[in-house]
Amino acid sequence: MSGMTRIFAALGCFLIVAVGAAQAECVTLGAPCADYSSTPVIFLGKVLSISRTPSEIHPVVVSVKLHVLDPLKGLAAGTTEAVVVMSGGCAECYYTFEAEKTYVVFARRDPRSAGLVTSECDPTYLVMDPQTDFDLQFMRDLKKGERNAVIFGFVMRQHADLVPEKLNDVSVVLRGPGGTRKTRSDADGRYVFSGLKPGTYTIEVSPSKRASFPHNGVTAKVRGPYCVPVDFYAKVD
């Protein structure tokens, strides 16, 4: 089977991910949890090994084998598969996996081989702490059918060096179905409104002595049990 390897041996709960180079430009990625509905396969996995193989089609194919810790969507526990990105170009375009690190992997199935495909354009990301990771917990709750929609985001100030300053203890107000709710941004600048029903909501942040917000009163539409990210940037003095 050229370009793709499907392994059926009983090797336990493992997944082999092969990541090929890609040269396409990616659109700006939003919150990983926002891609839950549009991504066929999502899983939490720990990297066991990484190998690089020359290819006639691409400069190199990078194969990453992961131990599947939690098959969040579209993947049964106990299977072993190969994942190959069929586009190619530059080595700098790879998503960078590191050995022994844990990731939430977003993947698709190749229509010709049914194998899994992931690339640097997918919202695959490194998980620092599975117990506190917001996106991971949200997707785990969706998997169990225990969560309605969430509107969340960060309150920040963008500086000239492009490094955002996270603003804590900022008042955030949500208006929509069910009335008005209030919360405050935490130490990381994050705010969360959970347990929301479908409908249209307005989110506002309250100006303070520390910051004013030129783009306020954002409208967000909730159409299902998914997350809707809405960030706020304070005016730079």
pLDDT tens digits for the chain (237 residues)?
333 322 222 233 455 555 544 444 555 456 788 888 888 999 998 888 887 777 666 666 777 888 888 999 988 766 655 565 544 455 555 677 888 999 999 988 877 766 777 877 788 899 999 988 888 988 988 888 766 788 998 998 877 666 778 889 999 999 999 899 999 999 889 999 988 888 999 999 987 766 777 778 889 988 877 788 898 888 765
- Give the pLDDT confidence score for residue 176 in this predicted structure: 93
- CA gap 179, 202 in Å, rounded: 11
- CA gap 127, 57 in Å, rounded: 32
Integer CA distances (angstroms), 11 to 26, 35, 43, 92, 235, in order: 35, 30, 18, 32, 55
- Give the pLDDT confidence score for residue 143 in this predicted structure: 84
Q: Which domains does the chain have, with CATH numbers?
A: 14-142 (2.40.50.120), 148-234 (2.60.40.10)
- Give the pLDDT confidence score for residue 20 in this predicted structure: 47
- The secondary structure of 18-45 as a DSSP string is EEE---PPPPPP--GGGGTTT-SEEEEE
- Give the pLDDT confidence score for residue 87 in this predicted structure: 43
- Give the pLDDT confidence score for residue 37 in this predicted structure: 82
Contact by Cβ (8 Å): 85, 31: no
Other CB atoms within a 10 A radius of the CB of residue 198 amount to: 12
Indicate the pairing of strand 149-158 with strand 227-229.
parallel
Instruction: Please name the residues in contact with 9: beta carbons below 8 A apart, sequence gap of 6 or more.
Output: 80
Which stretch of DSSP H or E encloses residue 130? none
Integer CA distances (angstroms), 12 to 8, 9, 15, 79, 98, in order: 11, 9, 9, 7, 21
Burial class (CB in 10 A: 0-12, 13-18, 19+), 161: exposed
Enter the pTM of the model: 0.71
